[in-house]
Chains A and B, each alone.
Chain A
Amino acid sequence: MLNGLDRFFRYISLKQLIIFNVLILVLILTMIVGISKGSFDFSVLKYFTGNLTTLEEEVLVNIRFPRVLLAAVVGAALSMSGACLQGLFRNPLADPGLIGVSAGAALGAAFSIVMSAEFFPDFLFTPYLLPLSAILGSAFVISILFIITRGFGFEGMTYMLLAGIAINALAGVGIGILTYISDDAELRGLTFWTMGSFGGVTWNLIIPAIVIILSTIVWTLRISRKLDLLQLGEPEAYRLGVDIKKLRFDIIMSSAIIVGISVSLTGMIGFVGLVVPHLVRLFGGVNHHYLLACSALTGAILMVNADLLSRILIQPAELPVGLITSAIGSPFFLWLIFRMRKK
């Protein structure tokens, strides 16, 4: 761990270090704002003076705080996985949806929303049912990816992309069939789920998720240097001693795990994984030590803000958070493309 930190500071420039620190500060501030606003109106400061009523305290501790925390962790997970995949595929269009894991999770979730009443025995009906079937869905896709990545040498990136497209299409068929046979209530549940939400989270649901996601993120940070070398091209990186097959396996599996868990708890949240790495590169460069860490931080900041907007824009109702991320993300992405044209 210490060794890793040492390497981290060795490889990033002063400017990148400053950005890194500013981002940490902004994240802390954003989370404070996120925790202090919501449709239940009270002052958070009273928590520290002990002046909150029991009800206010419960809302703060058991409803709002886990929600903000989950938003931050999921934002970090999606952005980091986006940055890793863009580096791995050396393709600016790569994002967590690309490898098909979120589609697999969506299929699992859709199955549980539409078919649960017919198929599952009574004792399975818990708040864990939907996340569990979403994770099973993504695990299924991960095992397919596992088989595919094992088979290829270092030339197999294109095939990986194509496999992702095929898996996405296949999951789309499954979701389509489920949509067709669902009734009105299920259909609505399905529609809202595909637009993402941090609502309905409880502590016992998110603690295991947060632990797994955060440790995977820290674990993934170790491979930054290898991703830098990979940008020279696969044959070059191979000659410089990067075990490409292992690197590819590590990145795809870690992405699959964190994206699978994120999607299973929050539904589909678009565009964050694609846009955030570009934003971070724009400000401080392409060094992967900087890029991965700062993408995670920026993703967390954006997601906490998007969730805050989703909670307060039309309160007491809630806008699906995926709408907000896409609404902010897509114009920004267009602007990025517009800038490149001028260059």
Chain B
Amino acid sequence: MGDLLKKTIFHLIFFHSILFSQVTDCSSVQDPSRIIIAGGSITEIMYFIEAEEKIIGLDVTSVYPEETKKFPSIGYVRNLSAEGVLSMMPSLVIGEDDMGPPSVIKQIMATSVDLRIVPEHHSADGIVKKINCVGKIIDEERLVKRVIRKKIMPSVNQLHKVADKNKKSDIKVMLILSMQGTSPIVAGTKTSGHGFIEMIGAKNIFDSFEGWKAVTAEAIIAMDPDYILIPSRDMHKNSKVATITEHPIFAKTTAGRNKNFIIDDGMAMLGFGTRTIFSALNAAKTISK
């Protein structure tokens, strides 16, 4: 403990420059017995492969499944505190690209604690790779391979099949992240939302810009989406979603007229953990009807 603290303080003072590329790999660590996870999708995966007994701490985006509440929180994934993380005496910290801030990541890496950043690709195959990667890191490759073969691949293959069919019928879709007091904020390219739309074989009507942006009501009507995806954090609070689905803007679109709103839990849709595959499969089936 003393040694670890000394090292931390040393590196707090003398900035250590280690390239991030060194940690975005999936090599196994020596001791995966005490794991801190910073990223909801990885937590989902750990539970899915039933390796949750190794977890000792989680960030605030890890909200699924319900049992995650019992773990101490290390705060927000982009704003971790080195001392807070290290005080829990982890042997391994796993996160995604969004883990930060960089200075804290460097501080943790400079200690004897292992740190791995799992690469993320917004596709079904990307999720499979992510599960594989987590399996390698915690040295459970055989278990993970079996889980993927039995529980994941059937759905992935089915998803590919339905998505390919959807691609031929050119279904126009938009994904609304939030719509409170401003114009709707929708998914452009290079977002998890765009990845989800591509996964289900639909066409994102807002692929002319990057990132999450506000769009005008007129543009939505002019583009006329067939389906509208709404990732909603609180599934039981459907009334919050109703303020979106009943907004007069959408009444003038094909999606609004036919009540073609696809609503699912936000992390299930956009987290790109295991649940995203099943959420995408459901959505793909819905739009293929």
Residues on A close to B: CB < 8 A?
Answer: 38-41, 55, 58-59, 62-64, 109, 112-113, 116-117, 122-123, 125-127, 129-131, 134, 180, 183, 185-186, 188-189, 192-193, 197, 199-200, 202, 265, 267, 311, 314-318, 320
Contact = CB atoms under 8 A, between A and B. Distances in A.
A320 B218 contact: no
A39 B222 contact: yes
B40 to A, nearest CB: 10
18 contacts: A58-B221, A109-B181, A117-B233, A117-B234, A122-B237, A127-B243, A188-B185, A192-B182, A192-B214, A197-B181, A197-B182, A199-B214, A200-B183, A311-B216, A315-B216, A316-B215, A316-B220, A317-B209
A267 B183 CA distance: 11
Nearest to B251: A58
A116 B240 contact: yes
Interface string B215-256: 111111111000000010110010110110001110010000
B112 to A, nearest CB: 31
Contacts of B208: 316-317
B219 A316 contact: yes
B215 to A, nearest CB: 5
Contact of A316 (B181, B212, B223): B223
Contact of B240 (A125, A188, A192, A197): A125
Nearest to A264: B181
Contacts of B177: 185, 188-189
Contact of A125 (B215, B223, B233, B243): B243
A13 B209 CA distance: 51
A117 B243 CA distance: 12
Interface string B242-283: 110001110010000000000000100000000000000000
B82 to A, nearest CB: 19
B213 interface: yes
Contacts of A126: 243
Contacts of A320: 214
Contacts of A58: 221, 252
A267 B180 CA distance: 10
7 shortest interchain CB distances as A-B pairs: A199-B183, A316-B219, A189-B178, A40-B218, A122-B239, A130-B181, A317-B213
B179 interface: yes
Contacts of B76: 180
Contacts of A180: 76
A38 B247 contact: no
A193 B180 contact: yes
